[in-house]
Amino acid sequence: MGEIRSVGIIGAGQMGAGIAQVCAAAGYDVLLHDVSADRIESGLGVIRDTLAKTVARGQIDQAAADGTIAKVKAAPELQSIGQCDLAIEAATEDEVVKKAIFKALQPHLKAETILASNTSSISITRMASTTDRPERFIGLHFMNPVPRMKLVEIIRGIATAPATYEQAVQFARSLGKTTANAEDFPAFIVNRILAPMINEAIYTLYEGVGTVDSIDTAMKLGANHPMGPLELGDFIGLDTVLAIMNVLYDGLADSKYRPCPLLTKYVEAGWLGRKVGRGFYDYRGPTPIPTR
């Protein structure tokens, strides 16, 4: 397999922008694509803001920040991603959307390109089977926020070639990340454990065992978690938490993974967490206020 020098990112949201930043900081040439120029510019803005805060904290100097952002180029046309050595899909956690992206990208891929998905729960084997290169398809699940979190879960599909896996591990480590191998079962390792914990916290709220504040305080001080589970759900995005729970529930057919009705109700209301200003907390004022 050829050396990875260029990386294409499909999806310029919080995750895609974060992946683009760490790849650029590691010296890779990065192309950032989304469905509109405004979304790409928003993603580039996220990278600039994150780098500015890192400079302000004295963790890097301005020259390093400028060098990183200079390595990230806007890619308004999806086909340009096909000429990269590695293409990472970082779109919304929806299997239909992800498969459509890979289908649209396929005619433009060079023979050597490795395909990866940043999915946090969806089958790598199923997605790979819809492409012309299942042996060159792998899961690279970065954690949020990407620049700060050290882990990348690496998930092989049933057809993933050993050489693809080894190259993916080397790539993730070149970004300064620690890797953990996860088998291709619903939600892999981190979200197989994390999402049900958040869902159980929502059930605890739903059943009146505790308030938003008491549940989060109890877990922060009683279990030494840096963030309470409801606050964490808001940070991840409640739509993403619900999507993961549905993947677990559908894929494993176990009632313990049934999404809490209150979680569903919040998503139906559009109260998705921090990214929209309201979830289990209201973030529109100077201090987050519990909504229940």
Catalytic residues: 120, 141, 153, 191
Sign of CA dihedral 118, 120, 124, 126: negative
The CB density around residue 60, as the number of other CB atoms within 10 Å, is 14
Residues 227-260 as b/e (b if ≥16 CB within 10 A, e otherwise) read ebbbbbbbbbbbbbbbbbbbbbbeeeeeeebebb
Distance CA 237, CA 276 (A): 9
Distance CA 96, CA 84 (A): 23
Q: Give me the torsion for CA of 235, 236, 238, 239, rounded to 10°.
A: 140
The phi-psi region of residue 208 (left if phi > 0; otherwise alpha if psi is between -120 and 50; otherwise beta) is: left
Q: Point out which residues pair with 32 in neighbouring strands.
A: 9, 74
* Contact between residue 28 and residue 176 where contact means Cβ atoms under 8 Å apart: no
Report CA 235 to chain centroid distance, whole Å: 12
Distance CA 207, CA 241 (A): 19
Distance CA 81, CA 75 (A): 7
